[in-house]
């Protein structure tokens, strides 16, 4: 207890950082989870969609600034960029992955990895290798002084409010959409038993296409939202997909709320590690993943499936 | 008929002779057929063409392309045109080792420039000796290569981490002698760890008692440092050291600037020259910046101002940006190659040198760099001056430039031959700080 009271203000700061970090992780991981749920393909190229979403948002932001558009326009442009990437790249990738749907998981991974490599090179062709920066949204929202422990710590309002806010909205929209709308219920039906859903007259192909496009747009939105806070360089997609896999494996494949909770755990875990034991920051997501999988191999919220032999 | 039969006989004989000679040459290894002037000079160049380090690797490749064109337009080396063959270090050391062997054994390159990654250099220096192929280590940072090993075919056309980091430490001790606390935020890989070890050892020797309040090693290629910035804001160290580079450093500078961390701590950024143009005026005035050498397009006292101007203007005209340190390092490697061949050619009265003769010619060689000159010591290590300055905002440039620049002569800050940096740094004397060269102001 004495330790807690001594370090309360540090833990308070770590919590604020952890929430922002969790929001960024959730945006990408939930898309990956959604796609796996409906398509049963672990899409490595999801990382490329994140990267292309980030680059596209930055380019659109820089283009708008060059054309003299007001600074506030940079915020909706993040969503526009993500939607464009989802709509343009989602359907053709889904068509490709559908061909591997009933194949061996190894083949699926190889195909999506090949796609990932192709898209990585495409990014370099389009955006080059110099770091790309478009931080107008962060500048627009400015900083917020957080008084804590007798000190004042400035935080970016963008990271403190906007990122967690968008993540919460996304979570709420997905939960509502899946549980309360006809499309959501059809999606759950396709996810649970594709054949039975088709027998009931559900157009599983259309559901899969729309869901994949939403998943792709969510990955792109994750990248777009991250883009004002960072410098975009080759390789950002690879780093993101590895972390997203950790979230998805920990949460359980196909679990939306699980992805949210796991992102929160990982975000807070990494943030606390920076304050308490920085050497562990890099491995915290994987320590959490191993700890969970040792106890629940199907993930925190995953459901055990019986296999016919 | 007889003539033709005679001709046929001669042809068969010469063919048999050629086969025999070829067989002998193959049996004796690659050295025997050397010494003849080649039709072209093939130079294998290892650089990062993919991944985060391509922010250095691609500008270096562009520089090589530009300089090889200039070299060939001026007649090549000893009348022989040179051709670069690029390989990507991005896929990792194992892949790179395979590429190195392929370049030597299949492509039959005459010389190699290798590499950006320290791990690649550590892997290829023994390979250079094993395959007896002259290799210029052109950009990697690790000081361990010539401290831990002895190589006849590998030389380095630049400095190493020890003088690069020590120069920044000496500058800090002169510019801000009263600091009491320090924090480090470096990338979590060999360079980040090794450079901190060098800085810390030197600091403990020259200014014992400074308290290290945070040692942060975020993941290499991390895209967000918000938590680290928060911790540094809360800890309020007098000095923050970061030897990070590329997108990581750009992001750190921007996030630290947005959240006013630069107002609370003095930053020491030994590699920030390569980020200045990209981060614009996000880097505020008053922070310490290094360049892994004396590379700076506004160098206050270049050895040959016309040479520097030609290099900077040529690069900028062609690629639209100022050349960063990896461009200068590539220019040094090209200059080293040219000077080495010319020395070896002169030693043989114009006859083409073999690999062993070329490798030997690099030892003791002094060659010009865009800003000054570099000398290769007998152990193969290059002696390269170091420029450190303080960031300053001026109207003439949309990014921070350097002021109060100190150009450290290479020898006093480079680990002597036969010693290890970690031991030598413990023997440093405080008069190194007081005897530092005079600072030179920014000049447009």
**Can you give the residue ranges of every domain in chain B?**
40-159+303-380, 162-291+385-434
Q: Looking at the structure, give the CATH architecture of the domain made up of residues B40-159+303-380.
A: 3-Layer(aba) Sandwich (3.40)
CA distance, residue B419 to nearest chain A CA (Å): 31
Interface ipTM > 0.90:
no
| Least confident piece of the model among A258-272, B60-74, B382-396 | A258-272
Contact A20 B230 (CB under 8 A): no
Interface residues of B toward A, Cβ cutoff 8 Å, are 50-52, 54-55, 57-58, 188, 214-219, 221-224, 226-228, 230-231, 233-234, 246-248, 250-251, 254-255, 258-260, 278-279, 321
H-type alpha helices, B280-324: 305-319
Residues 6+ apart with CB under 8 A from B89: B46, B47, B48, B49, B53, B57, B96, B115, B116, B117, B120
Evaluate whether A288 touches A265 at the Cβ level (below 8 Å).
yes
By Cβ distance, the residue of A128, A156, A233 closest to B52 is A233
Spell out where chain A has E strands. 143-148, 151-156
> CA-to-CA distance for A71 and A62, rounded, in angstroms?
11
Q: For residue A308, is pLDDT > 80? A: no
Query: In this structure, which CATH number among 1.10.260.40, 3.40.50.2300, 3.20.20.10, 3.20.20.150 belongs to the domain B162-291+385-434?
Result: 3.40.50.2300
Is the per-residue pLDDT at B1 higher than 80? Answer: no
- Inspect the interface and report whether the beta carbons of B216 and A131 lie closer than 8 Å: no
Identify the weakest region by mean pLDDT among A36-50, B90-104, B173-187, B225-239: A36-50
Each residue of B98-134: pLDDT tens digit? Answer: 999 999 999 999 999 999 988 899 999 999 999 999 9
End-to-end alpha carbon distance in chain B:
82
Question: How far apart (Å, rounded) are the C-alpha atoms in residues B443 and A184?
Answer: 66
DSSP code, position A162:
I
Is the pTM here over 0.90, yes or no? Answer: no
Query: Across the interface, which of A130, A229, A281 has its CB nearest the CB of B55?
Result: A130
Nearest to B350 by CA among B79, B71, B76: B79
Per residue in A168-224, pLDDT (tens digit) is: 999 999 999 998 999 999 998 988 888 899 999 999 999 999 999 999 999 999 999
Longest Cα–Cα distance of chain B, Å, equals 99
Residues in B closer than 8 angstroms to A9, CB to CB, are 234
d(CA A168, CA B159): 51
CB-CB neighbors (< 8 A) of B246 in chain A: 131, 233
Share the mean pLDDT of chain B: 91
d(CA B47, CA B53): 9
């Amino acid at each position: 207890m004495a330790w807690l009271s001594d370090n309360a203000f540090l833990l308070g700061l770590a919590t604020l950082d952890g929430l922002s970090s969790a929001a960024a992780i959730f945006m990408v991981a939930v898309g990956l989870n959604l796609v796996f749920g409906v398509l049963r393909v672990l899409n490595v190229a999801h990382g490329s969609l994140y990267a292309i979403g980030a680059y596209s948002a930055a380019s659109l932001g820089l283009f708008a600034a060059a054309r003299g558009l007001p600074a506030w326009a940079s915020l909706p442009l993040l969503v526009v960029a993500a939607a464009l990437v989802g709509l343009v790249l989602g359907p053709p990738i889904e068509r490709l992955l559908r061909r591997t749907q009933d194949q061996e998981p190894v083949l699926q991974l190889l195909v999506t990895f090949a796609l990932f490599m192709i898209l990585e090179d495409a990014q370099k062709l389009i955006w080059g290798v110099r770091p790309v920066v478009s931080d107008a949204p962060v500048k627009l929202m400015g900083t917020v002084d957080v008084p804590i422990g007798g000190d004042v710590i400035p935080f970016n309002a963008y990271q403190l409010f906007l990122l967690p806010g968008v993540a919460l909205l996304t979570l709420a929209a997905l939960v509502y959409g899946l549980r309360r709308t006809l499309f959501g219920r059809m999606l759950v039906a396709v996810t649970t038993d594709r054949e039975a859903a088709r027998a009931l007259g559900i157009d599983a192909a259309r559901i899969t296409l729309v869901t994949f496009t939403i998943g792709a747009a969510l990955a792109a939105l994750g990248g777009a939202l991250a883009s004002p806070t960072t410098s975009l360089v080759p390789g950002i997609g690879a780093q993101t997909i590895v972390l997203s896999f950790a979230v998805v494996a920990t949460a359980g494949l196909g679990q939306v709320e699980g992805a949210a909770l796991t992102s929160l755990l990982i975000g807070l875990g990494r943030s606390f590690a920076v304050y308490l034991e920085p050497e562990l920051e890099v491995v915290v997501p994987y320590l959490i993943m191993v700890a969970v999988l040792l106890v629940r191999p199907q993930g925190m919220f995953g459901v055990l499936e019986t296999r016919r032999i | 008929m007889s003539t033709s039969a005679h001709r046929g006989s001669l042809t068969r004989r010469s063919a048999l002779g050629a086969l025999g000679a070829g067989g002998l040459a193959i049996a004796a290894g690659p050295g025997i057929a050397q010494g003849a002037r080649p039709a072209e000079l093939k130079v294998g160049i290892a650089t990062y063409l993919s991944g985060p380090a391509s922010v250095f690797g691609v500008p270096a490749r562009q520089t090589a392309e530009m300089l090889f064109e200039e070299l060939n337009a001026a007649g090549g080396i000893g009348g022989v045109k040179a051709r670069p063959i690029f390989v990507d270090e991005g896929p990792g050391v194992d892949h790179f080792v395979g590429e190195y062997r392929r370049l030597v054994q299949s492509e039959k390159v005459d010389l190699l420039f290798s590499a950006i990654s320290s791990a690649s250099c550590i892997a290829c220096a023994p390979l250079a000796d094993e395959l007896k192929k002259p290799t210029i280590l052109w950009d990697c940072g690790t000081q361990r290569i010539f401290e831990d090993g002895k190589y006849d075919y590998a030389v380095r056309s630049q400095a190493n981490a020890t003088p690069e980091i020590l120069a920044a430490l000496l500058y800090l001790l002169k510019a801000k002698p009263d600091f009491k606390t320090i924090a480090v935020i470096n990338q979590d890989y060999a360079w980040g760890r090794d450079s901190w070890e060098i800085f810390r050892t030197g600091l403990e020797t020259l200014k014992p008692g400074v308290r290290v309040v945070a040692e942060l090693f975020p993941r290499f290629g991390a895209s967000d440092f918000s938590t680290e910035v928060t911790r540094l804001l809360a800890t309020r160290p007098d000095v923050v050291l970061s030897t990070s580079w590329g997108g990581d450093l750009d992001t750190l500078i921007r996030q630290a600037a947005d959240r006013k961390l630069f107002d609370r701590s003095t930053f020491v950024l030994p590699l920030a020259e390569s980020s200045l143009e990209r981060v614009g005026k996000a880097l505020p005035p008053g922070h310490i910046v290094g360049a892994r050498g004396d590379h700076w397009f506004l160098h206050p006292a270049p050895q040959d101002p016309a040479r520097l101007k030609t290099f900077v203007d040529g690069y900028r005209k062609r690629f639209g940006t100022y050349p960063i340190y990896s461009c200068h390092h590539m220019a040094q490697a090209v200059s080293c190659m040219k000077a080495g061949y010319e020395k070896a050619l002169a030693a043989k009265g114009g006859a083409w040198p073999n690999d062993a003769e070329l490798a030997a010619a690099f030892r003791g060689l002094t060659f010009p760099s865009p800003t000054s000159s570099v000398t290769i010591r007998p152990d193969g290590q290059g002696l390269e001056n170091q420029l450190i300055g303080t960031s300053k905002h001026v109207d003439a440039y949309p990014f921070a430039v350097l002021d109060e620049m100190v150009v450290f002569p290479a020898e006093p800050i480079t680990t002597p031959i036969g010693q290890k940096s970690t031991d030598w740094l413990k023997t440093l004397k405080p008069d190194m700080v007081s005897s530092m060269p005079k600072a030179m102001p920014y000049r447009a």
